Amino acid sequence: MANTLFDAPVAGQSLTAEVGARPWQQPAQYSTVEDAFEYYATKITDPKVNESLLDALEMGTPVSSISEILVQSGAMEGKHTIDVSILLLPVIMELIAYVADESGVDYNMGLTPTIDQDKISESKIALSVSKLKNKMPDNIIEETEPTMEPEVMSEENLEPSGLMSRRM
Amino acid sequence: MSLQGQATTAYKNYMNKVMENAPKVEEPMSGGLMNRSRPVEQENKTDYLLDQFTQLQKLRAGLKNG
């Protein structure tokens, strides 16, 4: 979570380029959702173009992530505005799923979050450790520390104990 | 600029909308042969994207059902 919090541009970074220099600062190429959807529909349904898309689906990339990347790159290229991209998202997801169904590719829509049962988060480990520390008083911890005392071996114990050994 | 999780939320919203929409019931346009009142077309406000969404869902269902 901490990584995503700081995964953002530096304050004032948008002012380092001239206004209008970026594609998304220009008027959008497709101003309506109909036009923008036409643009994506022709791209996604084109068998020459969608090979890499189907490869990504086969590798397990969720449909939701692919469609997010698609519309985000469209907005960054100045094809349409970011509002249009959010409006287009569900329809593009459905279109990608349709193309995958048609070509017989198994895919993950990415609607249900996958929880790895074997993976224990670091916060849970830290919480359980702190609970354990609170439960254990200090004197118990001191008592449990092993004390190494040198054992005095008596001479009686030194007798050989093997089957073939001779008694002294 | 990042769309983290927007697709999932938008998709679920659309699914809810589609499920809430009641099927259209066609009503008779005229009230008989001698009726003089002109048939007036009802204003059908359609959402282009929602239409496309439902069409694609139907196509997908058709593919799955063979």
Does residue A148 sit within a domain?
Answer: no
Does residue A143 sit within a domain?
Answer: no
* Number of domains present in the structure of chain A: 1
A30: containing domain: 17-102
Does residue A35 sit within a domain?
Answer: yes
Closest CB from B10, B57, B63 relative to A102: B63
pTM of structure: 0.67
A28 to chain B, minimum CA–CA distance in Å? Answer: 16
Q: Model confidence over B31-48: pLDDT tens digits?
A: 777 877 776 777 777 789
Does residue A121 sit within a domain?
Answer: no
pLDDT of residue A3: 65
Does residue A51 sit within a domain?
Answer: yes
Whether the pLDDT of residue A57 is over 80: the answer is: yes
Determine contact: B54 vs chain A, CB below 8 A: no
For Cα atoms A147, A149, A152, give the angle at the middle one, nearest 5 degrees.
Answer: 160
Q: Model confidence over A12-29: pLDDT tens digits?
A: 988 888 888 888 889 999
Whether the pLDDT of residue A139 is over 90: the answer is: no
If one compares A24 and B26, the residue with the highest pLDDT of the two is A24
B33 to chain A, minimum CA–CA distance in Å? Answer: 41
Q: Does the model's ipTM exceed the 0.90 cut? A: no
- What tokens were used for A134? 């609170």
Does residue A30 sit within a domain?
Answer: yes
Reported as type and span, the H/E element at residue B17 is helix B6-20
Q: Model confidence over A58-112: pLDDT tens digits?
A: 999 999 999 999 999 999 999 999 999 999 999 999 999 999 999 999 999 988 8
Does residue A49 sit within a domain?
Answer: yes
Does residue A33 sit within a domain?
Answer: yes
d(CA A54, CA A106): 9
- What tokens were used for A88? 């287009």
